[in-house]
Amino acid sequence: MANIMAKDNQPGREDEVRLERFMKHKPPTFTRGEEANHWWKNAKQRIGAGGVVITWEMFKRDFLIKYFPADVRNRKVVEFMELKQGNMSVAEYAVKFESLCAFSPHFNTPEAEYDKCVKFESGLRPD
């Protein structure tokens, strides 16, 4: 067990570990193979231009733009902006907050950390 934890904590392995954990859930297979391969080839050239290492965040952003329609993303942004704790526990609210926050680019930068905290706190019940 200690060997596994040490292996997981090696610098630069975060994305690899995240992928391994994701694959344990046996996600559905993407069946649009040729289209996806073509998209990925073009995306690598575009976002990895000049030898830039493509991070998970860069890949995710491009993937969502291509395969997650703007109207659905916009509904998620609105849902995030209107999110209140309501009857949820703080833990449930935090999980919902983080999942919806992913769709609001403004809140996903280091500079916006304060705004994100204010948004989170403003959605809490005044208990």
| 99 domain residue, yes or no | yes
Query: What percentage of the chain exceeds 70 in pLDDT?
Result: 87
Distance CA 88, CA 6 (A): 36
| 114 domain residue, yes or no | yes
Residues 82-111: b if buried by 16+ CB within 10 A, e if exposed: ebebeebeeeebeebbeebbebbeebeeee
pLDDT of 2 over the 60 cut: no
- Say what the pLDDT of residue 12 is: 66
81 and 119 assigned to the same domain: yes
pLDDT of 91 over the 60 cut: yes
Token pair of 21 as six digits: 């954990």
Kindly report which listed range (22-26, 57-61, 102-106) carries the lowest average pLDDT score.
22-26
Distance CA 78, CA 104 (A): 9
| 95 domain residue, yes or no | yes
63 and 96 assigned to the same domain: no
Token pair of 53 as six digits: 């290492």
- Say what the pLDDT of residue 28 is: 65
| 56 domain residue, yes or no | yes
76 and 126 assigned to the same domain: yes
pLDDT of 66 over the 60 cut: yes
78 and 114 assigned to the same domain: yes
Higher-pLDDT residue of 59, 114 = 114
Q: Is 125 helix (H, G, I), strand (E, B) or coil?
A: coil
The total of structural domains in the chain comes to 2
Distance CA 91, CA 124 (A): 11
Range of the domain at 106: 69-127
62 and 82 assigned to the same domain: no
Residue pair 32/73 in contact by the 8 Å Cβ criterion? no
Query: What percentage of the chain exceeds 90 in pLDDT?
Result: 33
82 and 122 assigned to the same domain: yes
Higher-pLDDT residue of 70, 76 = 76
Per-residue model confidence as pLDDT tens digits over 107-122 = 888 899 999 999 999 9
pTM exceeds 0.85? no
